[in-house]
Amino acid sequence: MKVCIAEKPSVAKDLAEVLGARQKMNGYYEGNGYQVTWTFGHFCTLKEPHDYTDRWKTWRLEELPMIPPNFGIKLIDNEGVRRQFSVIESLVANCEEVINCGDAGQEGELIQRWVLLKAKCKVPIRRLWISSLTTQAIKEGFQSLRESARYDNLYAAGSARAIGDWLLGMNATRLFTTRYGKGGVVLSIGRVQTPTLAMIVQRHKEIMAFVVEEYWELKTIYRETEFTAIIDRLKSLDKAEKGVVYLVNHPFEVTSFDAKEGREGNPRLFDLTSLQVEANKKYAFSAEDTLKFIQSLYEKKLVTYPRVDTTYLSEDLHPKVEGILQQLTPYAQFTESLLQAPIPKLKTVFDDQKVTDHHAIIPTGVYPVALPTDEKRIYDLIARRFIAVFYPECKVSTTTVLGKVGEIEFKATGKQILDPGWRVLYAHEKKESAEEEKVMPVFEVGETGPHEPRVHHGKTSPPKYYTEATLLRAMETAGKQVDDEEVRELLKDNGIGRPSTRAAVIETLFKRKYIEKKKKNIIATQTGIDLIDTIQSELLKSAELTGQWERKLRLIEKGEYALETFKQELTQMVADLTNEVKTGAFRVISVADPVAAETGKSKPREPRAKKEAVDIQAQQCPKCRQKTLIKGKTAYGCPEYSSCGFKIPFEIFGKKLTESQVADLILKGKTGKLKGWQLPDGNTVESRLVLNAAFGPELSDV
């Protein structure tokens, strides 16, 4: 008898139907040589501190850090879990083979492996790995079962994640609570939760510290087109009014007219995070709700596996795309034109190098019937995006007009859609901005005429609060503000949290009253602010450092990093953190301190002198002045590199640059005089590295 273990009863029922195991038993299905049973979420968990020693039952600073010699697992204390586990244990003990049919991802692998470990499974194990629950996908999956050992690295990564969360969460929560907590308040610390909260608190402080400034701009209307003066914003109304007086006495002259045709690339297929972002923007769905809706669609066989972090399809799916499009009959008005020619095998859609365990979320082709409204909306987002990626690009015309009035230069821009291409899929939606399409008249260089100058009075705006959409993006890119999809793809390995867990992290922050929602905005509560102010360790608060940790977990998954090495690093990190908090002197406030809660000010406790390092990735690109810099594999650069072109390599002229030298180059335009620069002829020189007129690094004295 072969025992199949699914991740939930509904999936077990689908598997049993396909396998012919149609006899319903107590806790499993049986028939045709198969017994199909199920779990429902986590059955096992890592042992708690008190399971290792009685000394860890109470929260005492002197007992920290808690480092178990070996991590053990135990069954969750739940009657339903115990009852179903006994069924699994009995079936596993009397079978010839186990087929792991758990959720085809890291968490699913961990759930099943722990159950089999607890059940003392001694028979061979094979793995069912499928990306959808359609009958065809299940049949194909059972025809090509894989050896369980193929997923040992996935299990190792899941174990490393669980152990990491235990070591940091258990120790840091007890550490900060016993050291700084008052009045029975628990200071909850988490590997992903705390840096996420820190981002929200930092944004809150930026907004609170923002000083609104008034400004005045000179504008004028010429041929029904508004132009804005290309000068610094004026700080006083008096200067602006004098400017208008000057403008009235001079005609408007067109100095340049440039109309360029361009293309807007197609959107990418959805991964879970981008789907959650889109659903939050369009329907104000929370990340947790979107995950619930997409999971339901997956179990109804309407879409493929949702807990993915790639926006690409594997190349072997290309022949199946035409069939899926043909079955999307509700969208026939859009698919008809696509099906008149072969489906292109686009590199932006099909790339085996960008697909790991699963591909992007797409429809299965099964016709959706009588869906709840919210699920229908999510399905519509996925179906339209799937069709849109195969449509032609959107053709646009971008117009830039320069002019002058006397000695003051003016500028106006416009954009016109020439051929909507993929945008026809979204013609039913309201435009996000009135400026999205602005048709300009044709101007002749040298033409002049009367105009209508005026003063525009404006105020500077503070940074915007996070919404769930922008917070998910910030978690995905470890706090970097990145709009470009290709750059975001590169940063995913360093994101904090997993696509499947980010929603739960945000919900945890809500439940613990660290954050609250006002309309769509996510705002830190005083409790959340106080907690982050209490935690002085950047290790716990830094999204970037947590992202680097996340990257190591992904390397474990790929077999490129050892679980034991990771555990040793974690153990050392927790020991160092504990020692630092026990003996260090921080500027802290307790969340139970009423004075601090009212004033928001921290009480000094022997502040430690520390030289402030420049955060390069918080600096504005010195060339375009539009974006903050990002760190790539070989250089710091602008996120808009394709158009801006700014970058500083880590190594140049035979010399590796320190972060301090890079910071000098960005902020001052030059480094100090340094020896050892290597010239193309092999000679070395002493010189400064400077940014030239084109913002490229060069040696100043050569």
Helix (H) or strand (E) holding 248: helix 237-248
> Using the 8-state DSSP alphabet, how is residue 624 labeled?
T
The answer for residues whose C-beta is within 8 angstroms of residue 453's C-beta and 6 or more apart is: 218, 219, 220, 243, 244, 247, 248, 405
Catalytic residue among 34, 180, 305, 636: 305
Question: Which pair of structure tokens corresponds to residue 460?
Answer: 């500077």
Q: What is the CA radius of gyration of the chain?
A: 30
The span from the CA of 345 to the CA of 621, in Å, is 36
Contact 33, 2 (CB under 8 A): yes
Contact 344, 266 (CB under 8 A): no
* Helix 499-511 / helix 193-209 crossing angle, nearest 10 deg: 60
The span from the CA of 596 to the CA of 602, in Å, is 6
Please give the C-alpha separations between residue 363 and each of 290, 297, 343, 359, 371, in angstroms, as whole numbers.
16, 9, 16, 12, 14
The span from the CA of 87 to the CA of 79, in Å, is 13
Q: Considering only CA atoms, which of 636, 339, 303, 613 is closest in space to residue 480? A: 636
Q: Is 305 an active-site residue?
A: yes
Contact 507, 491 (CB under 8 A): no
Q: Considering only CA atoms, which of 103, 154, 246, 164 is closest in space to residue 545? A: 164
The DSSP-derived string for 39-53 is --S-SEEEPPHHHH-
Please give the C-alpha separations between residue 108 and each of 14, 37, 42, 241, 653, in angstroms, as whole numbers.
17, 15, 9, 67, 49
Contact 701, 679 (CB under 8 A): no
> Using the 8-state DSSP alphabet, how is residue 418 labeled?
E
Q: List b or e across 151-175, with b for residues whose CB sees 16 or more CB atoms inside 10 angstroms.
A: bebbbbbbbbbbbbbbbbbbbbbbb
Backbone angles phi, psi at 430, to 5 degrees: -70, 145
Q: Which residues pair with 685 in a beta bridge?
A: 677
Q: H helices then E strands: how many in the chain?
A: 23, 27
Annotated active-site positions, please?
305
